Structure 1
Amino acid sequence: MAICLNTKSTYNLFQMLVNDTFFVDKSAIIEKLSARINTPNRYICITKPRRFGKTSVLNMLGAYYCKAYDSKVLFDGLKIAKTAAYAAHLNQYNVVHLSMNSIPDDGNAYEDYMKLFKNAIRRDILEAYPQLKEQEFNSLSEMLVATDKQFIFIIDEWDYIFSHELYPEHYGDFLEFLRELLKDKPYVALVYMTGVLPIKKYSTGSALNMFKEYTMLKDPSFEEYFGFTEDETEMLCKKQTALTMEEIRDWYNGYQTKDGSRLYNPRSVVCALEDSACQSYWTRTGKMDEVLFFLKYNIAQVRDDVVKMVNGNSIGIDIEEEYSAGQENPASRKDIYAAMITYGLLSYSDGELRIPNKELMIEFQNALEDDDFGCVAELVRNSGEILDATLNKRGDTVASYLHNIH
């Protein structure tokens, strides 16, 4: 059974998504991606925060392009079916699907990790093209060239070893693996690669410079497909009666496209509508997702900014550089904020930095309660008592709290 070549896993997963009550049709992105097939712009890396729909789009692409099965029924009712090139690309390609978050059961070395993918590709190619079994190849790329076929590569969580700080001494080797497999190869029709961390800072020289990157900070082409738009969110709200659009907007809005259109956190919106309750669905998947993890790198520089943002204000700051894979832990004020933008913890538009919504506000308020924030932490912990004393005109109590935190 195939592991990564022309498998039906992406089809099955996308079918489940389409069957969901709160499904949102993002298939229009296929037209844009198909236009890049077999062009110099066929290398695409889209990096967004977790829970923003990257893997859902990847599964959709696998289901649409893969030639191993017929997915016409699945796509005929979607937006892509109304485009001129719909039939020309539907189920026409060999698709190689790699999820880089797989870890070997046996062996914890970098070599064991890479064997998972190399062996899977090699086995699947030889199974699909048995005439190659009699030949010897020095590399996967040689074997793929020998098929005399073209492939679409869809690669999920490309940055897994970077975001999880695995095998740091082999980061360069990993990039070299991707370069050797993909760059300037005649068998590559298209590469769609996703993750959280951009690649450009770590990738030196010509290693992965064939990719065009689309990030939280800079994405003029695909931003509307990652996150729910205002119209999409309103459409979903009409499918239930427990929550209003105003409640959803307050909790999960806060990101913007280049033209100023609103974007909502998709997973949180769906969870809230399914549960009939607005609450924080922010999923912490490790230290790199936690507000406090970043703020602790330089609390002295960011403390005042955070207090302002928690009180609903924005911070004016010019941020041009991405926080990227392999970059050292952020130290400066700008680096900290660049990292938090990359992870979706802060939104950035027109030179203004802000906490996106109520869901993230809760995360920042929790962070402020940490002892490393000193007097701010004490103030936050006692804020309820201070407010109660103020409303009841107990001036001596208020004065006592304020004296203690100074």
Structure 2
Amino acid sequence: MIDEWDCLFREFQQDCNAQKKYLDFLRVWLKDKDYVALAYMTGILPIKKYGSHSALNMFTEYSMTDPGDLAEYFGFTEQETSELCEKYEMNFDEAKKWYDGYHLMVHRQMGNEICSIYNPKSVVEAMMRHKFGTYWNQTETYEALKIYIQMDMDGLKDSVIRMLAGEGVPVNVGTFSNDMTTFATKDDVLTLLGHLGYLAYDSVNETVRIPNKEVSQEYVNAISTMNWYGVAESVEDSRKLLESLWALDEEAVAAGIEKAHDEMH
């Protein structure tokens, strides 16, 4: 068993020579060896490819873009999260808003089934602290997200804006080189963000979107420190408009809608 097999690719992103040696070592060590009954590797990134071929083509891969029949084990299922909310006296609808959004396809004998997966780290923190919030950024910071979305290749900025508005955007996950440095198109960046958990992938419609409130907050944090001033202001205006709506403040709602209408024209 090898945990975080891709650590070298994430921690030493620019050292291509070391990465190649590492993959060659794994291939020589594991491939077609009589002493290996089963090799089990976990990590964020899929197995690195050399051109059109994989250096480790003897593995069956399960990922965020193609989870297969292991999808329900990638996190807490909706039923498990509901039971935890009942046990710890937390509001399930609120938990769904904060931590749901990863809808993975499970392959069954009777047909495919969509499974809602919740971030286990965040759900556990929310239950133990008895408070919903952004707990994912204790392991990942918005700076990591900022690096990728500020590339803005092929209109990435527009795609992020659309996703912040709740839309899904088309993506081709087939061009991804399975590392964190080789980006030829916007699709490569979006695919990486899907593997990192910053986006949820819809394999049926081949689109990605921001999964939930917790992750959306990470995008807001990242954008607030970038030169996307218009976007940051629009996000903040949307937040204020929603708060006014829930507060039944009709004057503030009317002013917010009028401002949005003026900006659109």
> What range describes the TM-score normalised by the shorter chain of this pair?
0.7 to 0.9
Whole-Å Cα distance in 1 between the matches of residues 185 and 148 of structure 2? 11
Whole-Å Cα distance in 1 between the matches of residues 54 and 252 of structure 2? 64
How many residues of Structure 1 are paired with residues of Structure 2 in the alignment?
247
- Equivalent residue number for residue 208 of structure 2: 353
- Equivalent residue number for residue 279 of structure 1: 133
- Equivalent residue number for residue 146 of structure 1: none
Q: 2:157 aligns with which of 298, 303, 307?
A: 303
Matches for 1:360-375 after TM superposition, within 5 Å: 360-375=215-230
C-alpha spacing 1:251/1:381, structure 2 compared with 1 (3 Å): closer
- Equivalent residue number for residue 157 of structure 1: 4
Deviation for aligned residue 1:323: 3.7
Q: 1:175 aligns with which of 23, 33, 36?
A: 23
Which residue identity is paired with 2:32? D
Indicate if the aligned counterparts of 1:296 and 1:372 stay in contact, CA closer than 8 A.
Answer: no
Q: 1:340 aligns with which of 185, 193, 197?
A: 193
Return the structure number with greater helix share: 2
- Equivalent residue number for residue 244 of structure 1: 91
CA offsets per residue over residues 139-186 of structure 1, 9 Å max, x none?
xxxxxxxxxxxxxxx000111010112643211111111111111111
Deviation for aligned residue 1:297: 1.1
C-alpha spacing 1:182/1:309, structure 2 compared with 1 (3 Å): same
The alignment status of 1:291 with 2:145, answered yes or no, reads yes
C-alpha spacing 1:386/1:160, structure 2 compared with 1 (3 Å): same
Deviation for aligned residue 1:314: 2.3
TM value normalised by structure 2: 0.80
C-alpha spacing 1:240/1:305, structure 2 compared with 1 (3 Å): same
User: What 5-or-longer segments of structure 2 have no aligned partner?
Assistant: 106-112, 245-250
CA offsets per residue over residues 216-272 of structure 1, 9 Å max, x none?
11121211111111111122222211x111111111000112121211111111110
Identity of aligned residues (%): 38
- Equivalent residue number for residue 62 of structure 2: 214
Indicate if the aligned counterparts of 2:100 and 2:212 stay in contact, CA closer than 8 A.
Answer: yes
Task: Give the greater-gyration-radius structure (CA).
Answer: 1
C-alpha spacing 1:202/1:286, structure 2 compared with 1 (3 Å): farther
Whole-Å Cα distance in 2 between the matches of residues 357 and 375 of structure 1? 22
Whole-Å Cα distance in 1 between the matches of residues 241 and 84 of structure 2? 41
User: What 5-or-longer segments of structure 1 have no aligned partner?
Assistant: 1-153
- Equivalent residue number for residue 109 of structure 2: none
RMSD after superposition: 3.2
Give the 3-state SS of the residue equivalent to 1:257 in structure 2.
Answer: strand
Matches for 1:246-261 after TM superposition, within 5 Å: 246-258=93-105, 259-261=113-115
Whole-Å Cα distance in 2 between the matches of residues 361 and 394 of structure 1? 25
Indicate if the aligned counterparts of 2:99 and 2:123 stay in contact, CA closer than 8 A.
Answer: yes
Whole-Å Cα distance in 1 between the matches of residues 141 and 175 of structure 2? 19
Indicate if the aligned counterparts of 1:345 and 1:355 stay in contact, CA closer than 8 A.
Answer: yes
Whole-Å Cα distance in 2 between the matches of residues 327 and 321 of structure 1? 15
Q: 1:233 aligns with which of 81, 98, 103?
A: 81
Indicate if the aligned counterparts of 1:201 and 1:324 stay in contact, CA closer than 8 A.
Answer: yes
Indicate if the aligned counterparts of 1:214 and 1:222 stay in contact, CA closer than 8 A.
Answer: yes
Give the 3-state SS of the residue equivalent to 1:195 in structure 2.
Answer: coil
Q: 2:183 aligns with which of 310, 330, 335?
A: 330
Deviation for aligned residue 1:325: 4.0
Give the 3-state SS of the residue equivalent to 2:156 in structure 1.
Answer: helix
Indicate if the aligned counterparts of 1:175 and 1:203 stay in contact, CA closer than 8 A.
Answer: no
CA offsets per residue over residues 292-314 of structure 1, 9 Å max, x none?
22111116602222222212222
Whole-Å Cα distance in 2 between the matches of residues 361 and 335 of structure 1? 20
Whole-Å Cα distance in 1 between the matches of residues 57 and 119 of structure 2? 30
Q: 2:122 aligns with which of 268, 271, 274?
A: 268
Which residue identity is paired with 1:290? A
C-alpha spacing 1:394/1:338, structure 2 compared with 1 (3 Å): closer
Which residue identity is paired with 2:174? E
Whole-Å Cα distance in 1 between the matches of residues 4 and 34 of structure 2? 24
C-alpha spacing 1:359/1:206, structure 2 compared with 1 (3 Å): closer
Whole-Å Cα distance in 1 between the matches of residues 153 and 53 of structure 2? 34
CA offsets per residue over residues 347-402 of structure 1, 9 Å max, x none?
011223211111011112223324422432344456678998x728779x959x96
Whole-Å Cα distance in 2 between the matches of residues 297 and 291 of structure 1? 11
C-alpha spacing 1:324/1:215, structure 2 compared with 1 (3 Å): farther
